[in-house]
C-alpha cells in the first residue's frame, strides 16, 4: 500500500530500473535514465532516457473494492479502499547518435519484457516491504495519439515508448473507528433483530 508519495515512488523505481539496465551499453559514457517533464531542453551528455509521467487515471476494474479494516492488535478502524491508479509514461532517448538512441530504446524494451512485474526488494519508498507489484505494459498508441502527446507539451515528435503501470494503490487518509457489537437480541419468530453497540 502506498501513501501520498506513491506516484513519486513508482517513478523512482522505473528510473532506477532503467539506469541499471543501461550501464552495459557503453564503458566510456553509459546512458542514464532521468525523470523529466520535457519542459526544458534535455541536457546531454551523457545520453539519456527521459521518463515523463504524462497521465494519471483511475483503474475502472478496481472500483467498488471493500473497505479496509485494521488488523489486531491495533484498535478496530475502517478506511475507504485504496484508489487504484494507472500511470502512463513516455520514455524517450536523447543524445548520442541514432544508433545509440535505438540501442537505449531496445534495452528499455528488453528490460520491461523480461521483467514486466516489479515487486519485492526492487520497490522503494512507501512501496518497500509490502506485497504490491507494479505491472508494466507497452501501450499500443497510434501515431496520431503519440503525436498529440508531443503536441500537448509543444515539442516536435520524437521516437519514444509509451508504458502503462498498473495497479498503483493510493491509500485513503480517511479513517474512522469501528465500535464492536456488545449485545445481540433476537425475540421470537419473525421479530426484528436488535443489535447494540457501546
Are 104 and 31 within 8 A, CB to CB? yes
The pair phi, psi for residue 62, each rounded to 5°, is -105, 10
pLDDT score of 197 more than 70: no
pLDDT digits (tens, 9 = 90+) for 75-116: 666 766 677 888 999 999 998 788 889 999 999 999 999 988
**Rounded to 5°, angle at Cα 149 from 169 and 171:** 10
Between 188 and 22, the more confident residue is: 22
Please count the other Cβ atoms lying within 10 Å of the Cβ belonging to residue 78: 14
Give the pLDDT mean for 57-86: 71
- pLDDT at residue 3 above 90? no
Task: Identify whether the C-beta of residue 22 lies closer than 8 Å to the C-beta of residue 31.
Answer: yes
Q: Please, which residues have CB within 8 angstroms of residue 107's CB and are 6 or more apart in sequence?
A: 21, 22, 25
Is 0.85 topped by the overall pTM? no
pLDDT reported for residue 83: 78
9: CB partners within 8 A, 6+ apart: 2, 123, 124, 125, 126, 127
Least confident window among 46-55, 60-69, 123-132: 60-69
For 115-166, what is each residue's pLDDT tens digit? 888 887 777 777 777 777 888 999 888 888 888 888 888 888 889 999 999 8
Average pLDDT, integer, range 64-84: 68
| Residues 6 or more apart whose Cβ sits within 8 Å of residue 37 | 52, 53, 153
Residue 49 — very low, low, confident or very high, per pLDDT cuts 50/70/90?
very high
Average pLDDT, the chain: 80
User: Is residue 182 scored above 70 in pLDDT?
Assistant: no
Q: Where are the domains of the chain?
A: 6-196
Q: What is the model's pLDDT at position 85?
A: 86
Amino acid at each position: 500500500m502506498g501513501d501520498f508519495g506513491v506516484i513519486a515512488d513508482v517513478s523512482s523505481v522505473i528510473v532506477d530500473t532503467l539506469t541499471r539496465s543501461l550501464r552495459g551499453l557503453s564503458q566510456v559514457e553509459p546512458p542514464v535514465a532521468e525523470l523529466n517533464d520535457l519542459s526544458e531542453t534535455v541536457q546531454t551528455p551523457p545520453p539519456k532516457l527521459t521518463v515523463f509521467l504524462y497521465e494519471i487515471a483511475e483503474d475502472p476494474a478496481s472500483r467498488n473494492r471493500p473497505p479496509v479494516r485494521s488488523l489486531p492488535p491495533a484498535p478496530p478502524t475502517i478506511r475507504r479502499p485504496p484508489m487504484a491508479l494507472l500511470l502512463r509514461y513516455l520514455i524517450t532517448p536523447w543524445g548520442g547518435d541514432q544508433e545509440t538512441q535505438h540501442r537505449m530504446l531496445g534495452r528499455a524494451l528488453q528490460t520491461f519484457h523480461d521483467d514486466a512485474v516489479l515487486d519485492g526488494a526492487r520497490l522503494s519508498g512507501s512501496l518497500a516491504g509490502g506485497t504490491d507489484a507494479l505491472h508494466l505494459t507497452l501501450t499500443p498508441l497510434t501515431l496520431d495519439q503519440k503525436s498529440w502527446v508531443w503536441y500537448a507539451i509543444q515539442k516536435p515528435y520524437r521516437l519514444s515508448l509509451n508504458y502503462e503501470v498498473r495497479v498503483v494503490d493510493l491509500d485513503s487518509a480517511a479513517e474512522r473507528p469501528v465500535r464492536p457489537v456488545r449485545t445481540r437480541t433476537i425475540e421470537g419468530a419473525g421479530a426484528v433483530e436488535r443489535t447494540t453497540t457501546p
